[in-house]
Amino acid sequence: MGIGESGVRQIAGASGAGEHDKIARTFTVIRSLALLSGVLGCSILFFLRNDISLLTFGNQTHAFDIAVLSLSVFSTAVYFGQLSLIQGLRIIGDLAKVNILSALFGTILCIPIIHFFGESGVAYYFLIVSATGVLTSWWYSRKIKVPVVALCWKDSMSAAKPLLILGLALMLGTLLSLFTQYWLRVFIIRYNDIDAAGVYHAATTLSTVYVGIILRAMMTDFYPRLSATSHDHDQCRYLINKQIEVGLLLAFPGILAIMTFAPFVITLFYSPKFMQSVDILRWQILGVLLQVVNWPMGVMLRAKGNGKLFLWTELFANGVLVGLSYLGFIFFGLPGIGMAFFGMNILYGILIFSIVARNYSFSFSLQNMQILTIFVLATGVIFLTPYFLHEKVCMVINTIITFGIGMCSLVIICKKTDTDMVPAFILRFMARLGLDVK
């Protein structure tokens, strides 16, 4: 029901205003709603397991696996409910520990299961990962001293209403995105084969995993900070521009590296059998670049609590992606789906900018415009050179550009932060290149 995310907004706002009683009431309601929504989601998936298996795979072979997954739905709901308190209060250290430890314990427990049981252990993998998330989030959330409050039915409903209204919009937006990705894979399987779906999945994973890590890390602190100052348009504009700047500087060198070394990356993480995904990957990387800019603007709608407008933008983005993917696949095959992702992000970026500019007086800073111009030009060169130059010449040129952009990003980050945080060997290397970071 999107309660975890809407809860972060409510708790962050109450924390920014110093309303400790409201924090306690909000968290009490969040825990109850998380349990309720977890049971509801688990029950729906369990009782529809046969139909979902039939719809996805054409048979009921995986009905039992889907029943196991229903338990992970319950665990995930509880996990996000507990995490909302830690994130809303911006206790970043504990939040990082929760994410690291849950991933570590989940990996340690799951590797033997996948090794011994293979494909039949995948459902248990998801269940164990969600269960370790519940345990680690409970361990750290219990350390936060929140007064126990007893709420009557009327007070509970009053506190739950804003959580559910925004949470419902966030949930529907998330479901739209998940359904779109689900539809794309089923569409590829039905009109091509399951190997083609694997190729698409490989490209999608590699194009989004690096930037996804950065965006999730930024979301950890950015969303509650923006929520706490959502009433101040000037402060919101400042925070969003800073977030875009940091996102570009951190993400862009990796984006260029993935595009430059796409064949090697595919071979390293998968195998030469997945080389078909290179063309999809290169187009999707262009879309990922735009996501780094679009995403902070989109968070503005969540922080403002404008669930209706957020839902309409998500409906637009996913509808455009489905339509362009169908046309792209018909005319260009699998690479056409990568083109569709790029096209969707262009149109979504235009839409979201017009919304936040008109409603919240947002505008890009001059520095962001300069950085974005340089990065777009560099991306254009790296994207186009393979079509016009010999492979070895292309690799040399693109490697130089990627290295140069990476060093420029590092220099700017060093100038904006305490250079003592940068390892000494990097500073010595940059000094030899004549780059002043003092």
**Pick from 148-152, 263-267, 373-377, 386-390: least confident:** 148-152
Residues 3 and 73 in one domain: yes
Q: How confident is the model at residue 202 (pLDDT cuts 50, 70, 90)?
A: confident
407 close to 426: Cβ distance less than 8 angstroms: no
328 close to 336: Cβ distance less than 8 angstroms: yes
Average pLDDT over residues 416-434: 59
Q: How confident is the model at residue 305 (pLDDT cuts 50, 70, 90)?
A: confident
Residues 135 and 59 in one domain: yes
Residues in contact with 267: Cβ distance below 8 Å, sequence separation at least 6, in sequence order: 274, 275
70 close to 42: Cβ distance less than 8 angstroms: yes
Q: What is the overall mean pLDDT for the chain? A: 80
* pLDDT over 60 (residue 434): no
User: Which structural domain range is residue 29 located in?
Assistant: 1-151
Q: What is the tally of structural domains in the chain?
A: 2
Instruction: Establish if 158 belongs to a structural domain.
Output: no
Q: What string of DSSP letters covers 18-35?
A: T-HHHHHHHHHHHHHHHH
Task: Provide the whole-model pTM.
Answer: 0.73
Tokens of 326: 């169908």
**pLDDT per position as a tens digit, 13-68:** 677 666 667 777 777 777 788 888 889 989 998 998 888 888 877 788 888 888 88
Average pLDDT over residues 341-355: 92
Q: What is the rounded distance in angstroms from the CA atom of residue 51 to the CA atom of residue 35?
A: 25
Instruction: Establish if 177 belongs to a structural domain.
Output: no
Q: Is 54 helix (H, G, I), strand (E, B) or coil?
A: helix
* pLDDT over 60 (residue 334): yes
Residues 187 and 105 in one domain: no
Instruction: Establish if 174 belongs to a structural domain.
Output: no
Residues 51 and 146 in one domain: yes
Residue 288's closest CA among 375, 206, 383, 211? Answer: 211
Residues 280 and 355 in one domain: yes
Residues 235 and 369 in one domain: yes
* pLDDT over 80 (residue 343): yes
Q: How confident is the model at residue 346 (pLDDT cuts 50, 70, 90)?
A: very high
Residues 258 and 330 in one domain: yes
Phi and psi for 154 in degrees, rounded to 5?
-65, -45
Residue 408's closest CA among 253, 285, 258, 246? Answer: 253
Residues 139 and 190 in one domain: no
Residues 137 and 220 in one domain: no
Q: Which of 151, 173, 199 is the last residue of a domain?
A: 151
Tokens of 151: 């709420």
With b for 16 or more beta-carbon neighbours within 10 A and e for fewer, the 275-289 pattern comes to ebbbbbbbbbbbbbb
Instruction: Establish if 159 belongs to a structural domain.
Output: no
Tokens of 93: 């250290």
Q: Which residue has the tokens 């040399």?
A: 396
> Quick one: pLDDT at residue 147?
65
Residue 435 CA neighbour count, 13 Å, CB half: 19
Instruction: Establish if 117 belongs to a structural domain.
Output: yes
Alpha-carbon torsion, ordered 419, 421, 426, 429, to 10 deg: 20
> Quick one: pLDDT at residue 149?
67
